[in-house]
């Protein structure tokens, strides 16, 4: 009887723990594309949550050649669906974009990055500061 009770308790605790154990962590590492057709590659995330990568934007505020630009970021390292932020320092124009967002994983294991961004353009005069920062959002999915 004691044996049967402890088996039931063991099964019950396994059933309760299993969903938590099997939930996969949403990972930023890899190749992503967004709703504008921009592509980005994020490297390994270290134990402090820091990561680097590159960003190839599909759109820009210039007619000069768009080139791949570096990004640096950091994520929360304690949860399954981490929040993060990263900065892209554009190499073909004197502007900077910061992104913040969260990595979500659906029930089928498909990952999506929901982000918002601020794009700071370089202006020559403090009087132009009011029009120098744009805001928007992008959704990233993994590149196949
Ligand atoms: C610039 O035009 O000043 C540099 C390129 C900016 C591209 C922006 S960043 C936010 C948005 N998301 C993208 O993928 N591209 C644009």
> What's the pLDDT tens digit per position in 64-89?
899 999 999 999 999 999 999 999 99
Q: Tell me the C-alpha distance between 75 and 62, whole Å.
A: 31
**Under 8 Å between Cβ of 131 and 125:** no
75 lines ligand 1 (CB under 6 A): no
| Tokens, residue 119 | 């794009």
Number of C-alpha atoms within 13 angstroms, CB side, residue 36?
Answer: 13
| Tokens, residue 59 | 């759109």
19 phi, psi to nearest 5 deg: -60, -40
Q: Tell me the C-alpha distance between 56 and 33, whole Å.
A: 9
92 lines ligand 1 (CB under 6 A): no
> What's the pLDDT tens digit per position in 7-66?
544 443 434 444 444 579 999 999 999 999 999 999 999 999 999 999 999 999 998 899
Residue nearest to atom 4 of ligand 1 (CA): 60
């Amino acid at each position: 009887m004691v044996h049967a009770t402890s088996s039931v308790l063991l099964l019950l605790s396994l059933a309760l723990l299993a969903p938590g154990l099997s939930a996969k962590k949403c990972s930023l590492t890899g190749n992503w594309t967004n709703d504008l057709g921009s592509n980005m590659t994020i490297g390994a995330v270290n134990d402090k949550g820091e990561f680097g990568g590159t960003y190839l934007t599909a759109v820009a505020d210039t007619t000069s050649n768009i080139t791949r630009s570096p990004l640096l970021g950091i994520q929360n390292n304690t949860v399954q669906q981490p929040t993060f932020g990263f900065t892209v320092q554009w190499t073909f124009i004197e502007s900077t974009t910061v992104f913040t967002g969260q990595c979500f994983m659906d029930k089928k294991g498909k990952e999506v990055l929901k982000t918002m961004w601020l794009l700071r353009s370089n202006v020559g005069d403090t009087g132009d500061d009011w029009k120098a920062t744009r805001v928007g959002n992008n959704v990233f999915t993994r590149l196949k």
